[in-house]
Amino acid sequence: MTSVARIKLPPWSRLIALLIAASGLVLFLGGGYLIALGGSWAPAVIAALMLASGVLLLRGKRSGVLVYLAVFIVSLIVTLIESGDRFWGWVPRMGYVTGLGFFVALMLPFLYGEGKRNLGRGLAFACIAFAGAAFVGAFFPHYSEILADAPSSPLVAGGSAVERAAQKDSEWKAYGRDDDATRYSPLKQITTQNVGQLKVAWTYRTGDTPAGKFAAETTPIMVGDGLYLCTAMNNMVKLDPKTGKELWRFNVGLKHESLPYTAACRGVTHYVSKISNETDACHERIVEATLDMRLIAVDAKSGQPCQGFGTNGQVDLGLGMGKWVPGQLAVTSAPPIVNGTIVVNHQVLDNQRRWAPSGVIRGYDAETGAFKWAWDVNHPGNLWHEIPGPGQEYSRGTPNSWATMTGDDSLNMVYVPTGNSAADYYSKTRTDSENRVASAIVALDAGTGEEKWVFQNAHIDAWDYDMGSQPTLFEYPGAGGEKIPAMIISTKRGQNFIVDRRDGKPLLPVEERPAPAGNVPENPRAPTQPWSPGMPRFGFPDLKESTMWGMTPFDQLYCRIKFRQAHYVGEFTPPMAPPQPWIVFPGYNGGTDWGSVAYDPARGILVGNWNATPMYERLLTRAEAEAIPLYSIDNPKYKPGAGGAEGPGAMEDTPYAVDVAPFMVPGLNTLCTEPPYGMITAVDMHTKKVIWQHPLGTARANGPFGIPTYMPINVGTPNNGGPALTAGNLVFVAAATDNLIRALDIATGKELWSDVLPAGGQASPMTYSVDGKQFVVQMAGGHHFMMTPAGDYVVAYSLP
């Protein structure tokens, strides 16, 4: 009786065979669970072949090579079916398989004899070539499109944008540059031809980087002889716009305990008194609303408080708010001043309790700081004409507004982007009045607070689709050639609406489409939701299991399983009763947020950078919340760090708490959906078609486990902050998590210049000129939620 000698593999080959077998076993178990959840059979089939190949190779069987060849071929077929030409979809499906295939090819001479050495080397080289081609391909543009020529003429001939701006070309007098919030400057010293020569002109350090909550989000303003800004701690500063030298600083005395979720101060407001003389103190003043609920006015020349404004230059915004604690209420955006009325909104820390403090909107006299009115949707008549007295307070739990509002002097209106009622994910106790105005643009009479109209972006919102973007005003051509005062409403959903700002009526079609219902008892969803088919959407198609992603098949399988475990039926997937999780896409950081869009009125081009990031959410029973423990910030049991604007929220006064998180792989800190996650898009407003669209943000400062790759792969990262446009045919934008500021050609989106910022650039840039020299300024303060480096830098660029 004879025996067949088993082929003895070298130790490294046995280790590879063991790795193949172990990988196959793990993936087979996971793939089997995926099948049980109703998912694809493909991962389990490939894993079974991988397991068989590994076992056969461990036993020294030649057939192990043939079975591994089947692993490669089946993986390739599945990749072609599931991913097609989506480049990033190939990474988890073929990268790991190809890497192991390289070593299997080198086993050939040990299994088949020396005669197969060259074949083995050839196959190994083919694996290297395949992987190398993929690596090189990562540096080429993907998901980039140039679809049309950019227009060269205004949307409306002789539009009044310049007149309404009422400022010199050299200035940037408001957060959005002008009263229309266009973020467009007519300056053109810096052009597409010379922008590559930009160099740092000066850098200013604010000295404020609050530990753990850093995210200044500041855009300075430039008026007259000063560049004015606020720091992350609300301190106001005037700089020499030519040199960056500090001319004065007003310290507001903000305490760290007053910081809300984020230490953000997006900007300050410039105002010229209508009743004082030019030589009087505070004839020109800088106005700021703070994170600890104060309204402050200082003299623009000296930085000293305006004594005739409130008490020693300050107004207490906490009056009438009832019970609240530091960090629960804050103003993060520059308040607009409309025909002498300062209009103030404020954020209410998300998801703390249903009966949180009010989201009331208030008007104050810009000269004296005197209270004028308050718009409170649950108060009889919706208006207060005096501050609530003892035993009274503004209606609790009403929708708040935290984003930058837009004022319209010509119509005497202020346009308020509203958020949701308190307790974002539970709607049973909301009033009809709250549901009518939440997650909308609400137009108020700036002089009286009277409500003029409402345009809603999401009905009975349970997705945190609050309006983060500042409305942009522009002139729209009517059917008879007339100029219609219009508004661009950009949303977290990526929907872009165009309305008549006189009455809020749509100028392009708005469709009410059926929306899914949930199963949370007595928590009904709206039967329809609004869509804007007449404008390009800043977003991607609905998620599928096949678009789940990972760096390897292991994390991709994890994401596939998590996808199947969750409830998901497309946009407006509703909250589900515990313990069922659900997926929201786009999530609360999707579409366009507080950075807002920019509009070039000289050419009729709209530019917006946006996110495509999903959220994974679950309602928690009250017992689960207490076990965490999870309490509202105003509860004596609350512990700092346990619940905030993002992440788990107590939602006290309701049956549930909520857990909200980006849909990511734990530990790896990579999103579960295919890149890109951030894009920038230009739209021709003449045709309502996309001109170009590109991923925004490289992998140079990003990577698995938070480790930077230092590679300029334009993967498209999450971003916060908006663009600025110039008559030099340029788009300036930072925002992405690669810590770069960029200049793009507005006609094509091609990157013409970039520079590495000293910290994260989560803020919108601005531009101005002094003595004929144009500067571009970017705040580099970082952002804790975006996981970019903290800093306190204001960086100015100019031509040599």
| CA 341 from centroid of its chain's CA atoms | 30
Task: Output the pLDDT for position 157.
Answer: 80
Residue 379 predicted with pLDDT over 70: yes
Residue 630 predicted with pLDDT over 50: yes
> Which residue in 180, 299, 350, 464 is the catalytic one?
464
Task: Output the pLDDT for position 679.
Answer: 98
Residue 160 predicted with pLDDT over 70: no
Q: Read off the tokens for 245.
A: 């030298």
Task: Output the pLDDT for position 644.
Answer: 56
The residue-averaged pLDDT of 208-228 equals: 93
Residue 470 predicted with pLDDT over 70: yes
Task: Output the pLDDT for position 164.
Answer: 57
Residue 717 predicted with pLDDT over 80: yes
Q: Read off the tokens for 270.
A: 């410039």
The residue-averaged pLDDT of 246-262 equals: 94
Distances (CA, A) of 199 to 46, 165, 231, 608: 53, 29, 24, 25
The residue-averaged pLDDT of 515-522 equals: 93
Q: Is 464 a catalytic residue?
A: yes
pLDDT band at 145 (very low <50, low <70, confident <90, very high): very high
Dihedral sign, CA of 641, 642, 646, 652?
Answer: negative
The 3-class secondary structure across 638-679, one letter per residue, is CCCCCCCCCCCECCECCCEEEEEEECEECCCCEECECCCCEE
Cβ neighbours of residue 214 closer than 8 Å, sequence gap 6 or more = 232, 263, 781, 782, 783, 784, 790, 791
Task: Output the pLDDT for position 422.
Answer: 95
For 391, counting Cβ atoms within 10 Å of its Cβ (0-12 exposed, 13-18 middle, 19+ buried), the class is exposed
Which neighbouring-strand residues pair with 794? 204, 779
Helix (H, G, I), strand (E, B) or coil at 499: strand
The residue-averaged pLDDT of 67-76 equals: 97
pLDDT band at 9 (very low <50, low <70, confident <90, very high): confident
Question: What one-character DSSP code corresponds to residue 36?
Answer: H
Residue 67 predicted with pLDDT over 70: yes
Task: Output the pLDDT for position 481.
Answer: 85
Distances (CA, A) of 262 to 233, 350, 456: 10, 12, 26
For all residues of the chain together, what is the average pLDDT? 95
The residue-averaged pLDDT of 103-126 equals: 93
Q: Which residue has the higher pLDDT, 109 or 647?
A: 109
Whether 457 contacts 137, CB under 8 Å: no
Q: How many CA atoms lie within 13 A of 437 on its CB side?
A: 26
Residue linked to tokens 């703070």: 290
Task: Output the pLDDT for position 141.
Answer: 86
Largest CA distance in the chain: 116
Task: Output the pLDDT for position 5.
Answer: 52
What whole-number distance in Å separates Cα of residue 64 and Cα of residue 72? 12
pLDDT band at 456 (very low <50, low <70, confident <90, very high): very high
Whether 356 contacts 328, CB under 8 Å: yes
pLDDT band at 261 (very low <50, low <70, confident <90, very high): confident
Cβ neighbours of residue 169 closer than 8 Å, sequence gap 6 or more = 185, 186, 187, 769
Distances (CA, A) of 594 to 13, 76, 504, 589, 764: 55, 42, 21, 10, 9
Task: Output the pLDDT for position 768.
Answer: 98
pTM (two decimals): 0.96
Residue 2 predicted with pLDDT over 60: no
Residue 165 predicted with pLDDT over 70: no
Cα–Cα nearest to 135, from 548, 556, 713, 699: 713
37-58 per-position pLDDT tens digit? 999 999 999 999 999 999 999 9
Q: Which residue has the higher pLDDT, 601 or 164?
A: 601
For 389, other C-beta atoms within 10 Å of its C-beta total 9
The residue-averaged pLDDT of 17-44 equals: 97
Cα–Cα nearest to 734, from 718, 750, 710, 715: 718
pLDDT band at 372 (very low <50, low <70, confident <90, very high): very high
Whether 292 contacts 255, CB under 8 Å: yes
Q: Read off the tokens for 764.
A: 């919108």
Percent of residues in the chain assigned helix, strand, coil, to nearest 5:
20, 25, 55
pLDDT band at 218 (very low <50, low <70, confident <90, very high): very high
**Helix 11-36 / helix 553-565 crossing angle, nearest 10 deg:** 10
Instruction: Name which of 52-66, 151-165, 677-691 the model is least confident about.
Output: 151-165
Cβ neighbours of residue 213 closer than 8 Å, sequence gap 6 or more = 259, 260, 261, 262, 263, 784
Cβ neighbours of residue 713 closer than 8 Å, sequence gap 6 or more = 138, 139, 698, 699, 700
Task: Output the pLDDT for position 1.
Answer: 42
Q: Give percent of the chain above pLDDT 70.
A: 97
Cα–Cα nearest to 600, from 680, 535, 692, 682: 682
For 392, other C-beta atoms within 10 Å of its C-beta total 12
671-696 per-position pLDDT tens digit? 999 999 999 999 999 999 999 999 99
263-305 per-position pLDDT tens digit? 999 999 999 999 999 999 999 999 999 999 999 999 999 999 9
Cα–Cα nearest to 214, from 793, 797, 696, 789: 789
Helix (H, G, I), strand (E, B) or coil at 294: strand
Residue 480 predicted with pLDDT over 90: no
The residue-averaged pLDDT of 727-735 equals: 98
The residue-averaged pLDDT of 12-27 equals: 96
Q: Read off the tokens for 475.
A: 């002139």
The residue-averaged pLDDT of 311-337 equals: 97
Task: Output the pLDDT for position 647.
Answer: 75
Task: Output the pLDDT for position 167.
Answer: 85
The residue-averaged pLDDT of 335-340 equals: 98
What whole-number distance in Å separates Cα of residue 771 and Cα of residue 242? 9
Give the length of the chain.
800
Task: Output the pLDDT for position 4.
Answer: 47
